[in-house]
Structure 1
Amino acid sequence: MSVSKLRVYDHCNNTMQALQMQRGNKLHCDVTILVERQEFPAHRCVLSASSEYFNKMFSTKMSEQFKKIIEIKGINKRAMAQVLDFIYTDTIELSVENVQAVLHTASLMQIQDLLNLIIEYLFDEISGENCLHFHNLGRLYSLENLMKKAEECCLENFDTVCVQDNFCEIKLEDFEKILKSEDLIVESETVVFESLMRWTEYDLDARTDSFQRMFQHVRLQLLDAEYIFKEILNQELVRVSSVCRDAIDSALYFHVDP
């Protein structure tokens, strides 16, 4: 006797659509998620299957395992609504305005499929104007791929990045990584030096000691001797540092005998 394995390809989709309708009509829902005083009926089994956060909550001896209403703090009710819709429909609308709130909620609830979708969206939206912000998001939520993409964008668009309002808040190790990179692209090395001065002067007391260390990454040999004399040697931070002056001497010697 032959055995045939048959499949209805829309069965799973149809089932989830039915569960979504049940959720909308508050049918057969066995848990209510409360966010900012708004109630969201849902099914424990669906939440557990989609979210490691809920899976642990409902399968361990946490107090929430037996509660009918579970309050979640620290998230946005609109983001919660979107995340629940994604769990039931695998679809979500993302924009610059809502992506951070959705990312926060998806990260908290450990919904990997949604996190992957958000990263894909951010990859398409990343630019010189926002790459520092996206890099911070990647660090905050431990998204290594997003951090790497943001770093690449920063190196390719440093002329734009270094004039952003939040540039001077960049961490020392991140700034040094940029200046040391062989992939750094700038219209002129003056951009690098002037960005270093602006970054240092933003918090002079805390960053003075780091200045000469960072100064060594400026490619002085790419600068005109006139610019070095008129602009760089006139800086007090440079004049008081023997390390900076030695680097300048080497650069000037290069101009004499390249």
Structure 2
Amino acid sequence: MAAYRVPGSCLELRDLIDLDTDGHFLQQYYLLSSVLKQINDLRDEGSFCDVILKIRNREFRAHRLILSAYSDYFRSMFSSFWAESGQAVVHLQDDYVTPDSLEAVLKFMYTTEVDITGENLCSILLAADHLQVKTLTQKVDHYLSERFQNDPGGFGVDEYIEVLILSERFQLNASFDAEQHAALKFLELSRREDFYELLTVEALEAILALVNPLHPFSQQIMRNMRGSVWGSEWEPVSQTQVFQVLLKWIDYDRKQRVELAARLLRKINLDSVDPRDLRTAKKKLQVLLAMGGYSPNAHYYDPIQKDWFSLPKLLYPWKTCLTEVGDCRCNPSLLCVGDSIYIFGGETSSGLGVQENLRYNISTNSWDEIPRVGYHFRPACVPLGDCIYLISSHHSFKLHIPSLLWSEVSHQPHELKDAAVAAYRGRIYVIGGMEESRDSPVQDRVQVYDPETDTWSDQAPTRRKHSFAAALVINDQLYVAGGLTTNESDDDNGETVNSQVVEVYDEQMGDWTLVPQPNVAANNIGAFQIGQRLYFMLCRTCFDAGVDIPEDEAYSLDAWTDVKSFEFGASVVCCNLDVDVLM
């Protein structure tokens, strides 16, 4: 990596204080500078030093007062019951601090100066963070931001990757500058191996958003880049190229990263990706799977051909729970957690509830039965922590996934069925639904379960009434969408209609707001938009269609008309599945 240094060879005291033209601060600056110089001379001479810092056979004499003034780490060490508080020699055995980085930190403490090179930037930040020398971290952050502003083209490709990683790790203000400039050099960065090895999901997610042609930053670049300081260095990037880079990043550590695919794909406009690449990637990406109903095998939805296809090698063994010849299991609740799909409850075609619960292992294409916990017709299920919560109109249970043991939890006070359920910020939200009695009205209630206290509370009701809807969390925002609602013009009558309503919850205000649908017309296939992204709601499950909608045009849904044409009585779930081996 090429070395780089702050102009003037180092960060100095003048960078840490404001120098006023009236001379008052200049006088303070020179006085403080003189005092620091004398204290550093005392350190060099070993005079009045009262502690020796020893690290990997190197020793550094210092003054406890200076160390404590700059570092919360040393202040705590010297003023508490640490064993080192009274020792003349303190042994530092931390992996985050090296002899060279400690020397740089001490130089900063005694002189406010620090030499930064490409080789020592990481070690200095690690040491400053571990020793809690906040002023040093802030100055390095300020330096990086200034360098991005004044000399963005001066960074080498390897420097960009390192600065991206460091900025994310230490939450530097320079992270946004690093992400923007990494977006400009996206293709060049993606040709390096360490891009795939070291880049965090947070940094990659930010960059993918910035290179999306519908992002304001990308649009501004398209207008202005040719005349900017980057000039001919800028390489335009297509969504197909971005998609290929994402797949390569996932494949670099597939076991750990495959579950991040859905999160990252939200930042890409799949409508602009070459269909040939999408076909190649089918086995690597999340698919929409339908199970249950009258078919003995599962089906998956192909987003390229916009149709459902059978998976004859994915046969489910729940005929054992059925009592009549020709019967089937309808409307089970499906949930994907990790490498497994869980199937709870449902009903037979003759209207009987099903007790049998199953688990499908995606990697081995095998099934096993998990303990039963009573009859549940259409339970809502949601993962939270290491448990799955099963919420129906009369009972609520949680399944501890590692042990497969059930335990009963406090039940919702209003006993509503067919509600939308989601885990949000450590609690479970149960939204809408209806009572068990025939012709009961659709509800706008919002009930919240706290697993820490095993208690329920009522929250602000939704603006409209919801049943058979889906709740989803996107970018740490809770939404409810689709399903059934009452006719807005005749709400008192209780007649239900297909809902075109999407609402978002404002936790701070404790209120719900309707989400505009300017580009997606009313439809009966469950399509809706959040921001400029297209989603579908099927069987109380939402999936991202991978489509970014231009702001100034209506989006045609003609190609998606078969999205709801899966097996009657089936339920759907999103999961990472290699469909090729199951066909």
Q: Same fold (TM over 0.5)?
A: yes
Q: Give the match for residue 57 of structure 1.
A: 77
The CA distance in 2 between the partners of 1:129 and 1:197, in whole Å, is 21
User: How many percent of aligned residue pairs carry the same amino acid?
Assistant: 23
Matched residue SS, 1:33: strand
Of 130, 149, 154, the match for 2:182: 154
Distance (Å, rounded) in 1 between the aligned partners of 2:102 and 2:263:
46
Is 2:221 the partner of 1:194? no
- After TM superposition, the structure 1 = structure 2 runs for residues 17-32 of structure 1, keeping only pairs within 5 Å, are 17-32=37-52
2:114 alignment partner, SS class: coil
Q: Deviations over 1:128-186 (max 9, x none)?
A: 54444333323433x24243333333333322333331333445565445444524575
Secondary structure of the 1:166 match is helix
Which of 95, 103, 106 pairs up with 1:84? 106
Structure 2 counterpart of 1:137: 166
Partner residue of 1:237 out of 278, 283, 287: 283
Q: How does 1:34-49 map to 2 (within 5 A)?
A: 34-49=54-69
Q: Specify whether residues 163 and 63 from structure 1 end up closer, same or farther in structure 2 by C-alpha distance, changes over 3 A only.
A: same
Q: Which amino acid aligns with 1:16?
A: L
Q: Structure 1 CA distance, aligned partners of 2:285 and 2:52?
A: 66
Query: Which residue identity does 1:187 align to in structure 2?
Result: V
| Equivalent residue pairs, number | 245
Provide closer, same or farther for how the CA distance between residues 28 and 153 of structure 1 changes in structure 2, counting only shifts above 3 A: same
From 137, 141, 144, give the equivalent of 1:122. Answer: 144
Letter in 1 for 2:136: L
- Once the two structures are TM-superposed, the CA of residue 220 in structure 1 deviates from its matched residue by 4.2
Structure 1 counterpart of 2:241, one-letter code: V
Q: 1:162 to 1:78 in 2, by over 3 A?
A: same
Task: Summarize the Cα distance change of 1:120–1:232 in structure 2 as closer, same or farther, 3 Å threshold.
Answer: same
1:233 Cα deviation after fit: 3.7
- Comparing 187-196 and 91-100, the one that deviates more: 187-196
Contact 1:54 1:109 in 2 (8 A): yes
Deviation, structure 1 residue 89: 0.6
> Aligned equivalents of 1:172 and 1:244: distance in 2?
25
Deviation at 1:210, TM superposition (A): 5.7
Distance 1:237 1:25, change over 3 A: same
Q: 1:163 aligns with which of 159, 167, 191?
A: 191
Residue 128 of structure 1 contacts residue 153 of structure 1 at CA under 8 Å; is this kept in 2? no
Which stretches in structure 2 are left out of the alignment for 5+ residues?
1-23, 149-154, 222-235, 288-300, 307-544, 550-554, 560-583
Q: Which amino acid aligns with 1:24?
A: D
TM-score normalised per structure 1:
0.76
Instruction: Please say which of residues 188-197 and 98-107 is displaced more in the overlay.
Output: 188-197
Larger Rg computed on CA atoms: 2
- Assess, with a 3 A threshold, how the Cα gap between structure 1 residues 17 and 173 changes in structure 2: closer, same or farther: closer
Q: Distance in 1 between matches of 2:126 and 2:546?
A: 47
Letter in 2 for 1:99: L
Query: How much has 1:109 moved relative to structure 2?
Result: 1.5
For 1:205 and 1:15, the matched residues in 2 are separated by 56
Q: Is residue 44 of structure 2 the alignment partner of residue 16 of structure 1? A: no
1:19-71 CA distances to partner (integer Å, 9 max, x unpaired)?
11111111111111111111111111111111111111122222222111111
**1:190-229 mapped onto 2 (5 Å cutoff):** 190-204=240-254, 217-222=267-272, 227-228=274-275
Measure the CA separation in 2 of the matches of 1:206 and 1:108.
27
Aligned: 1:96 with 2:118: yes
Q: Could you tell me how far apart the structure 1 residues matched to 2:182 and 2:266 are?
A: 20
Give the number of the structure whose residues are more often strand, by fraction. Answer: 2
- CA distance in structure 2 between the partners assigned to 1:108 and 1:48 by the alignment: 14
TM-score (norm 2): 0.37
Counterpart contact for 1:129–1:160, Cα < 8 Å: no
Residue 142 of structure 2 aligns to a residue whose secondary structure is helix
1:213-240 residue CA offsets vs partner (Å, 9 max, x unmatched)? 75565424445xxx53x55445553899
* Structure 2 counterpart SS, 1:194: helix
Q: CA deviation at 1:248?
A: 9.6
- 1:164-179 equivalences in 2 (<5 Å): 164-169=192-197, 170-172=199-201, 175-179=204-208
SS at match of 2:173: helix
Instruction: List aligned pairs for 1:104-115, cutoff 5 A.
Output: 104-115=126-137
Closer/same/farther in 2, CA of residues 195 and 32 from structure 1, 3 Å limit:
same
The verdict on how the C-alpha distance between 1:59 and 1:237 changes in structure 2, with shifts beyond 3 A counting, is same
Tell which deviates more after alignment, 231-240 or 155-164: 231-240
Contact 2:180 2:207 in 1 (8 A): no
For residues 159 and 27 of structure 2, the distance between their equivalents in structure 1, rounded to whole angstroms, comes to: 45
Q: Which amino acid aligns with 1:244?
A: P
Instruction: Go from structure 1 to structure 2 and tell me whether the alpha carbon gap of 1:154 and 1:26 turns closer, same or farther (over 3 Å shift).
Output: same
Go from structure 1 to structure 2 and tell me whether the alpha carbon gap of 1:156 and 1:15 turns closer, same or farther (over 3 Å shift). same
1:82 positional shift: 1.4
The amino acid across from 2:140 in the alignment is I
Could you tell me how far apart the structure 2 residues matched to 1:238 and 1:106 are?
A: 40
Aligned to 2:538: none
